Chain A
């Protein structure tokens, strides 16, 4: 959304000829600008373009639900057909935001029901979605087609039943990692028998049982079904039956893939998979008996995406499987794959673009042999690799420098060394040199997470070199205020900054207050901030909302506290809506 609305007057004696073109022409022209950033820029050119652009905008992404009020958003963009709204700060994923913080979807649904009757798609991430919201969605939008809920909570299967029953043109029901209360509601049965439009059905995060016969009938009659992600309640033999009914499936989530070995079940599965010629994406929570993995071999060649990050398959079977997946572009695995498994990935998956390696035992003593070597191998041999999320226990500057040299095309680099402040395990130095090499080499880097032992110097490098960096996550790093100052005074494109447990204080925050208005949000927790500085910041920057989070157990209201009081959690974001009115007790807007 363009923030600065430049209103260049078209005054002057001779107006350019295009000023007389009707709005519809501009609207048509803008329809060729799919990227929101481009449309925003166009809207900033002049009033005429602003008017034409906003009236023709079809897709709206609100990255922070509090950046604007729902009514304003709906009024400004009256023709929206697809809206995506995100709520809680990212660190809420890790339990750093107490419950009842806010981010309710209800005001958005209400405003949309009023102003966007033709809405077709709605997507919520990290928000509180209630059953009433779902009922309202089902009742308000005649042509509703796509519902995507990611990391949300607050609803139950009863709400889902309202959707499945009421949305006659539903194409996608995509539930990713939500907390859904199981009311034993027959949401799946609520799809009418005449309903056939489903293309995507993802209920992998649902805990409860589903009526398999109903599911099978649904899958059979929805000929366009491309994506089917099952939950853990569906046993293996049923998976085989479903696949026979939907052989044109493109993406499959198998749910819990575990069973004792039976040769006839194996044969069933193998035959079912052999029939799935279009299968490209595979996921599931595999406790797979290794003997079953070979039932998949028929589809390996065609797979472009493999998500085994919930699968506890151990190294050797995993490697045999992956070594057949020559066309993989996206691979998510557990660290059970170990270094030698990643070496196989490196030599097999030449088209790999994204790799994520999750820890199987984050609190354990580290028996898994996954080290920096795995990442070095993959980045050396996979020329298209651009996105990495890597959990490991040790790292060296040399490895990072090698990675940086081999892979200057990283756009997303997230390294998490499990133990905070871990130094280079060979030299015992900080990892400043390694991460500096990353940002210096990868000019297109948009997202970065750093870890290990780091001093202020690494932030100097990041501030200077990471020109395209939009999101930066920092934990247990830095020595002084300088670190934060380097970031805020550099990093030209920074949008989201999240920091925890770093010795950063008030001065760099106040000195770079203006920078915060160019960013979407800033999160700082367990740093060295005081209340006084936050008050100052809020006073200085009226278009920022400065939220302080107290320990929910603490009774004392923030008003009464002196300036010197430490601030445990700070969340600052720009907004045109003013301070929100739905804060819980433990949040104070200064």
Chain B
């Protein structure tokens, strides 16, 4: 007995492609225990369907108007992909309102290895390891979102950089400092530590008096805290979850706010760290 596909009658809703019906809908390979009954003749051999059919679903099977059911998925011969897809589908359906939008606009192919066929080099350059992450690398997420799906894995990272000490430079200061990111658990403590480092001693350690306080995480402050990420981009600190920030930061810079204005404009969907969510023009 050999495994392989079986010829079967067309499933419901799947009209034969042509009157000659040379090809019929075939059950997807479901494990290799079925009898292989195959002829190259163009007859319409009807075989009893195998015990666990999994039809090739098309967009027609999905109701375009309603929200996509989490069960609807394009079948694939890779069972592992299905579980990855299930995770991906948590993000919810897209609005199918615009005319002509394909009903299956939902990224169901997500999780299939090597698909879409984009060179690994291009993927790494543009998307980092976004392939392995859920696709909400998008600008939809708001700042403080504790997205557990942002699993910023370091696997495959070419330069395995241990988080820890990073340089900090401040505009107007020639000599830089270094700060240990491992010693902090949140942006607040980091900002406080930096403030202590960079405010003049004469102002005192007590930061309650705002005349000398840098207020680094405050948008309206004179100074903005920025960082250079793995891709070499300069990003505003504070957009992404702390763990993700620590994983991608290379160094820090305290910029004068006038210099930092350009950062907000660079909101691109392809950056995993969604700087655009601040809503700057």
Chain A residues near B (Cβ < 8 Å): 91, 93-96, 151, 177-179, 181-182, 205, 207, 232-233, 256, 258, 260-261, 285, 287, 289, 309-310, 312, 314, 358-367, 371, 391, 393-394, 416, 418-423, 425-426, 428, 430, 432, 449, 453, 455-457, 460, 473, 475-476, 478-483, 485, 500-501, 503, 505-508, 511, 526-528, 530, 532, 563-564, 566
Count CB-based A-B contacts (< 8 Å): 210
- Are B17 and A505 in touch, CB under 8 angstroms? no
Minimum Cβ distance to chain A for residue B279 (Å): 17
9-residue interface stretch from B21-29, B160-168, B182-190, B210-218: B21-29
User: Complex Cα distance A389/B94, Å?
Assistant: 26
User: Complex Cα distance A81/B268, Å?
Assistant: 47
Minimum Cβ distance to chain A for residue B59 (Å): 6
User: Complex Cα distance A545/B137, Å?
Assistant: 43
Minimum Cβ distance to chain B for residue A345 (Å): 21
- Are B94 and A418 in touch, CB under 8 angstroms? no
- Are A503 and B29 in touch, CB under 8 angstroms? yes
- Are B266 and A421 in touch, CB under 8 angstroms? no
- Are B58 and A423 in touch, CB under 8 angstroms? yes
Contact of A261 among B58, B120, B121, B262 (CB under 8 A): B262
User: Complex Cα distance A94/B130, Å?
Assistant: 14
- Supposing A421-B74, A456-B22 touch, asked if A360 and B270 sit within 8 A by C-beta, the answer is yes
Contact of B2 among A181, A258, A425, A532 (CB under 8 A): A532
Mind listing 14 A-B residue pairs with CB under 8 Å?
Answer: A179-B121, A260-B261, A360-B268, A360-B270, A361-B270, A419-B108, A421-B74, A453-B58, A479-B23, A506-B2, A508-B40, A526-B77, A564-B2, A564-B3
User: Complex Cα distance A151/B123, Å?
Assistant: 13
- Are A483 and B23 in touch, CB under 8 angstroms? yes
User: Complex Cα distance A357/B121, Å?
Assistant: 16
Is B206 an interface position by the 8 A CB rule? no
Closest 4 CB pairs of A and B: A456-B23, A94-B114, A363-B135, A260-B262
Minimum Cβ distance to chain A for residue B53 (Å): 13
Q: Say which size band chain B's interface belongs to.
A: 35 or more
User: Complex Cα distance A349/B99, Å?
Assistant: 30
Q: A287: which B residues are within 8 A, CB to CB?
A: 233, 266, 268
- Are A96 and B114 in touch, CB under 8 angstroms? yes
Minimum Cβ distance to chain A for residue B58 (Å): 5
Interface residues of chain A: helix, strand, loop or mixed (majority): loop
Contact of A505 among B5, B58, B103 (CB under 8 A): B5
User: Complex Cα distance A261/B265, Å?
Assistant: 11
- Are B105 and A310 in touch, CB under 8 angstroms? no
Interface residues of chain B: helix, strand, loop or mixed (majority): loop
Is B269 an interface position by the 8 A CB rule? yes
- Supposing A310-B126, A482-B22 touch, asked if A361 and B269 sit within 8 A by C-beta, the answer is yes
- Are A481 and B59 in touch, CB under 8 angstroms? no
- Are A310 and B125 in touch, CB under 8 angstroms? yes
Q: B233: which A residues are within 8 A, CB to CB?
A: 258, 287
Minimum Cβ distance to chain A for residue B25 (Å): 6
- Are B118 and A501 in touch, CB under 8 angstroms? no
User: Complex Cα distance A177/B5, Å?
Assistant: 39
- Are A419 and B109 in touch, CB under 8 angstroms? yes
- Supposing A287-B266, A359-B116, A361-B270 touch, asked if A366 and B94 sit within 8 A by C-beta, the answer is yes
- Supposing A95-B120, A287-B233 touch, asked if A511 and B268 sit within 8 A by C-beta, the answer is no
Minimum Cβ distance to chain B for residue A314 (Å): 8
Contact of A423 among B59, B159, B261 (CB under 8 A): B59
Which residues of B15-58 are within 8 A (CB) of A? Answer: 17-18, 22-26, 28-29, 32, 36, 38, 40, 56, 58
Q: A501: which B residues are within 8 A, CB to CB?
A: 76-78, 112
- Supposing A365-B94, A505-B5 touch, asked if A457 and B259 sit within 8 A by C-beta, the answer is no
- Mark each residue of chain B from 115 to 156: 1 if its CB lies under 8 Å from any CB of chain A, else 0: 111111110011100110001011000000000000000000
Is B113 an interface position by the 8 A CB rule? yes
For A430, give the chain B residue with the smallest CB separation: B17
- Are A177 and B119 in touch, CB under 8 angstroms? yes
Contact of A457 among B23, B138, B265 (CB under 8 A): B23
Is B4 an interface position by the 8 A CB rule? yes
Q: A359: which B residues are within 8 A, CB to CB?
A: 116, 118
- Mark each residue of chain B from 233 to 247: 1 if its CB lies under 8 Å from any CB of chain A, else 0: 100000000000000
- Supposing A362-B116, A391-B116, A460-B22 touch, asked if A530 and B3 sit within 8 A by C-beta, the answer is yes
Is B252 an interface position by the 8 A CB rule? no
- Are B5 and A564 in touch, CB under 8 angstroms? no
- Are B107 and A475 in touch, CB under 8 angstroms? no
Contact of A96 among B40, B113, B137, B138 (CB under 8 A): B113
